[in-house]
Amino acid sequence: MENLDLLFFCATCRDKSPEEVVKIKCTIPHSIKNYKKGEYIVYQGDKVEYLYMLVKGKVKTEIVSDPGLTLHIEEIQAPYPLAAAFLFADNNRFPVDVIALEDSEIILVRKDSIEKQMAECPHFLRGFMAFTANRMQFLSERLKIFSLKGIKAKIAFYLLQRAKNNEFELGRSIASLAEYFGVERPSLSRAISEMVRDGIIEFKAGKGKIINRNAMKEML
Amino acid sequence: MENLDLLFFCATCRDKSPEEVVKIKCTIPHSIKNYKKGEYIVYQGDKVEYLYMLVKGKVKTEIVSDPGLTLHIEEIQAPYPLAAAFLFADNNRFPVDVIALEDSEIILVRKDSIEKQMAECPHFLRGFMAFTANRMQFLSERLKIFSLKGIKAKIAFYLLQRAKNNEFELGRSIASLAEYFGVERPSLSRAISEMVRDGIIEFKAGKGKIINRNAMKEML
DNA sequence: TTAATTTTGTAACATTTGTTACATGGAGTG
DNA sequence: CACTCCATGTAACAAATGTTACAAAATTAA
């Protein structure tokens, strides 16, 4: 149970001390379910009436089309909430099956329990909102990056966002940045090389400088 | 002021009658600001302490890099909330300038007023959560589409999601679907033609049938 | 109905990106 | 120091997508 504060309640009541969190924990009705490897946790089309907090294990999501034909969507590692975006949505049904890849443990909190707790505990409210807001921010930025056409546009946007006085640090490896952009590593590497060759940026060992800001702007 | 219920409060207290909404409206402290065309509404880096509800007019967002050098990001038409994702986020600062493109009107509601109202009015809470959840769902689906590599993968995912008994309707024009996918219209048109040619789908006048589901799956 | 307008299909070619394979160079280890 | 292990750069070629232009089809207006 030591996961509770670490994950869910810590994510939501972050400005409380661990001792306080323990008390709050008890006031939120919840149940815990365990699933064996391979077991179905939810079925596509099920109504989302609980917050599903995966606290242990690993699951996968699938879209089932025909018997025997499934489309694998993604894997989710604990700790992570499984249906945060669906609990309050108008279309509050799971778009996928969720299946345990390992023995997994899930904390279930009814939607009305969440609402009640939010009404009673401002910290919880803020925490919950912060969680969804942070996630939304993350999704927005990723979507922005993806919607830019061409690798150089993505690079330009990414660098302009974090440059101070025209100097920047990547903050991550080329390989992971390529994954973040949704392009292949050699393609990103080549694009950077070309921008250096064309005198638009300087770049060496994770750090660099913007030389021609106009050209960067043109790329968006 | 007739916009209020239509937009913000209607989006949040959707299960109340208009008469009830009028009452609620008065209980939420808010202020209204008007901006002339060209005026700055917020500056990049400003703390988000209010919910900014654009109720009239049109604005644009920009990233300012150097004096005289701006990157245009997007235009937003009323009605729309300007900072919903940022109000509760840990990084609660505007990432962009917001500038009025037309004479615009904005309703400001302090963050704590929002919190207070959420605690007091379950309908408001549900409505607010539904709004953000719906938006998150929307972002998730778009991101999913964008993250798929190759036009045919996007088509396959899109069609498998809405096919019933292997029959589907696009539900929109090819042109708008291309825009949704973030690809060019002729490219999408070509991809569909090829899938028809290869006997994977049938398609005519916005409707079609999935012939080879295995092949569709392979494309993801 | 015809005419006008919009949407869609198609083709030829340019450009970008992916793929694969290998070279280089640094960080850490023995 | 030599050696290994990664991260990165690079090159040649393949594949996918963009671009442009135009024709055909569908839709709408007159």
Confidence (pLDDT) at B220: 80
Which residues in chain A have Cβ-Cβ distances shorter than 8 Å to B137? 85-86, 89, 91
Query: What is the structure's pLDDT at A139?
Result: 85
Residue B154 CA, nucleotide D24 C1', distance (Å): 27
pLDDT digits (tens, 9 = 90+) for B98-141: 999 989 988 888 988 888 888 887 877 888 888 888 888 888 88
CA of B73 to C1' of D9 (A): 33
Does an H or E element contain B26, and which? helix B18-27
Q: What angle do CA A127, A130, A135 make, to 5 degrees?
A: 135
pLDDT band at B4 (very low <50, low <70, confident <90, very high): very low
pLDDT at residue B26 in the model? 53
Nucleotide nearest to A172 (CA to C1'): D7
Residue A155 CB closer than 7 angstroms to strand C? no
Give the CA A44 to C1' C16 distance in Å. 38
Q: What is the mean pLDDT of residues A134-159?
A: 89
B173 touches strand C (CB under 7 A): yes
Inform me whether the pLDDT recorded for A178 exceeds 70: yes
Answer whether residue B213 shows pLDDT above 90: no
Whose structure tokens read 């894997």? A75
Question: Does the pLDDT value for residue A70 go beyond 70?
Answer: no
Examine the pLDDT at B13 and tell me if it is beyond 70.
Answer: no
What's the pLDDT band for B27 if we cut at 50, 70, 90?
low
Identify the pLDDT of residue A190.
96
Q: Is A147 near strand D, with its CB below 7 A from some atom of it?
A: no
pLDDT of A20 strictly over 60: no
Scanning the structure block, which residue is given the tokens 């993801």? B220
Instruction: Please judge whether B126 and A115 are an interchain contact, meaning their C-beta atoms are less than 8 angstroms apart.
Output: yes
Tell which of B111, B132, B168 to mutate to test the A interface (max A CBs under 10 Å). Answer: B132
In terms of C-beta density within 10 A (0-12 exposed, 13-18 middle, 19 or more buried), how is residue A97 classed?
Answer: buried
Instruction: State the smallest CA–CA distance between residue A114 and chain B in angstroms.
Output: 11
* pLDDT(A22) > 60: no
Assess whether B191 (CB) lies less than 7 A from strand D.
yes
Q: How far is CA B58 from CA A37, A73, B11, B34, B168, in A?
A: 52, 38, 20, 12, 36
Q: What percent of chain B has pLDDT over 90?
A: 27
Q: Do B143 and A147 touch (CB under 8 A)?
A: no
What chain A residue is nearest to B86 in terms of C-alpha separation?
A: A133
- pLDDT(A16) > 80: no
Mean pLDDT score, A170-190: 93
3-state SS of chain A is CCHHHHHHHHHHCCCCCHHHHHHHHHHCCCEEEEECCCCEEECCCCECCEEEEEEECEEEEEEEEECCEEEEEEEEECCEECCHHHHCCCCCECCCEEEECCCEEEEEEEHHHHHHHHHHCHHHHHHHHHHHHHHHHHHHHHHHHHHCCCHHHHHHHHHHHHCECCEEECCCCHHHHHHHHCCCHHHHHHHHHHHHHCCCEEEECCEEEECCHHHHHHHC
Using CB atoms, pick whichever of B90, B160, B220 lies closest to residue A134.
B90
Which of A15, A48, A65 is the best mutation test for B, with the most CBs of B within 10 A?
A65
- Min Cα separation A1/chain B (Å): 27
Tens of pLDDT along B161-211?
A: 888 888 899 889 999 999 999 999 999 999 999 999 999 999 988 889 999
Q: How confident is the model at residue A60 (pLDDT cuts 50, 70, 90)?
A: confident
Tokens 């644009």 correspond to B60
Q: What does the pLDDT read at residue A143?
A: 86
pLDDT(A155) > 50: yes
Q: For residues B142 and B116, what is the distance between their CA atoms, to the nearest angstrom? A: 33
Residue A75 has pLDDT above 70, yes or no: yes
Nearest-neighbour CA in chain B from A77: distance (Å): 18
Question: Strand C: which nucleotides have any atom within 7 A of a protein Cβ?
Answer: 7-12, 16-21
Q: How many Å apart are B173 CA and C8 C1'?
A: 9
Q: Give the model's pLDDT for residue B15.
A: 52
The whole-number average pLDDT for the span B49-65 is 83
Provide the pLDDT for residue A96.
Answer: 84
pLDDT at A77: 82
Taking the C-alpha atoms of residue A71 and residue A65, their distance in angstroms, rounded to an integer, is: 8
Amino acid at A89: A
For strand D, is any atom closer than 7 Å to the CB of A93?
Answer: no
Answer for B187: CB within 7 Å of strand D: yes
Question: What's the whole-number mean pLDDT along residues A26-41?
Answer: 84
Residue nearest C16 (alpha carbon to C1')? A150
Percentage of residues of chain A with pLDDT beyond 90: 26
Please give the pLDDT value at position A124. 79
Q: Does A90 touch chain B (CB under 8 A)?
A: yes
Q: Which pLDDT score, from 0 to 100, does residue A184 have? A: 94
Task: Identify the H or E element spanning B56.
Answer: strand B50-56
Q: What is the pLDDT of residue B34?
A: 93
pLDDT at A42 over 50: yes
pLDDT of residue B144: 86
CA–CA distance, A93 with A49 (Å, rounded to integer): 9
Q: In Å, what is the separation between the CA of B215 and the C1' of C26?
A: 45
| pLDDT on residue A125 | 83
**Given its phi and psi angles, is residue B213 left (phi above 0), alpha (psi -120 to 50 degrees) or beta?**
alpha
Q: Does the reported pTM lie above 0.85?
A: no
Q: Which residues of A touch B62 (CB under 8 A)?
A: none
Quote the minimal CA–CA distance from B211 to chain A in Å. 13
Please classify residue B215 by burial: count the beta carbons closer than 10 Å to its beta carbon, then call 0-12 exposed, 13-18 middle and 19+ buried.
middle
Residues A98, A100, A101, A105, CA torsion sign:
positive
Give A177's pLDDT tier (boundaries 50, 70, 90): very high
Q: How much is the pLDDT for A10?
A: 46
CB contact under 8 A, A182 and B149: yes
Residue B83, classified by CB atoms within 10 Å of its CB into exposed (0-12), middle (13-18) or buried (19+), is buried
Mean pLDDT of the residues in chain B: 82
Question: Which amino acid, residue A12?
Answer: T
Q: What is the pLDDT of residue A28?
A: 75
* pLDDT of B2 strictly over 50: no
